[in-house]
Homo-oligomer: A and B are copies of this chain.
Amino acid sequence: MQLLLDREQELRERYGISFRITGIASRRLGWIADHTGLDPQACLSGSISPSPGLTNVRTWLSAARADVLFEATSLNVENGQPAIDHIRAPLQHGAHAITANKGPIVHAYRDLRDLAVARGKRFLFESTVMDGVPIFSFFDQLPAIHLRGFHGILNSTTNVILTEMENGLNFEESIKKAQALGIAETDPTHDIDGYDAAVKTAALITVLMDVPIRLDEIPREGIRTLTAEAVRAAKKEARPYKLICRAKKTEHGITATVRPEQIPQTDPMSQITGTSSYIYFETDIFPGLALTEENPGLYATAYGMLADFVRAVTP
């Protein structure tokens, strides 16, 4: 929201977009709505009280008279809830839905996409993979192309941990470092055990290859079993460990994996360290088309939602 406010003038002058914040909801703040507009600073600081009578996303959306909803709950690997409901509700209400949560893509992409089309609204999720780098929009700009496979490094937490282990820290210290950097969550299980990377892989397969895939169809191995010694030895022999996501179209569908791999020096992935990420697409027209995000800034993920907002409300 800070970024949205920072760019308010530019959005107005350059894109003709003006907005007001008419609702905010979180576990901590409760349901808050005022269709005449809330004070953004109060929203940011959290010094704002719940609105009486609001008990769920539907009453809240109505009170806010929302045109666009930003959904940013955390990942539920099991079933994508409550984010799926948080996206379905605004689409049914007649608002665009923008999410930074990849759960709904894996668990309900076609439903939500079709609902958005039926209501003439947008369901956008550019922040879900590689922060706000417009991967999905990039493919919108590649009409009639055939994606045959991809591989990449898509989880920052494990990449930071591996880099820190290479630099001499042990596993636990590396996790603490990633947490201190604001990259890893308090419970980094989703990252370390490869769930986050697997969900991103599934999201890319689902959207870009138009093949729904369940998480249990992606063999998944995290970095928990790698010792600092093994990581440093691999680095020393110039074949560093990275947590690699892979997907490939085959005659029988899609095969995908998430697991630590030793990457030879000749592969650009060997140089992706810290919070950087990378994806390499194999297509019929471009045998290799890669995107690298180096050291994303503080607002990289928020930017993806801002860009989705511009996409949603401009013709």
Contacts and interface: CB of A to CB of B under 8 A. Distances in A.
A146 B297 CA distance: 13
Greatest chain B CB density within 10 A among A132, A276, A289 is at A289
Interface string A20-31: 000000000000
16 contacts: A7-B144, A14-B144, A15-B143, A134-B138, A134-B141, A141-B307, A143-B311, A143-B314, A144-B306, A145-B303, A280-B292, A287-B295, A288-B293, A290-B290, A290-B291, A290-B294
A133 interface: yes
A46 interface: no
Contacts of A143: 14-15, 306-307, 310-311, 314
A294 B15 CA distance: 35
Number of copies: 2
A19 to B, nearest CB: 13
A300 B132 CA distance: 27
A11 B289 contact: no
B268 A285 contact: no
Contacts of A284: 297
Interface string A71-95: 0000000000000000000000000
Contacts of A276: 288
Interface string A125-164: 0000001111001101111110000000000000000000
Contacts of A133: 286, 289
A134 B134 CA distance: 12
A285 B310 contact: no
B292 A288 contact: yes
A15 B140 CA distance: 12
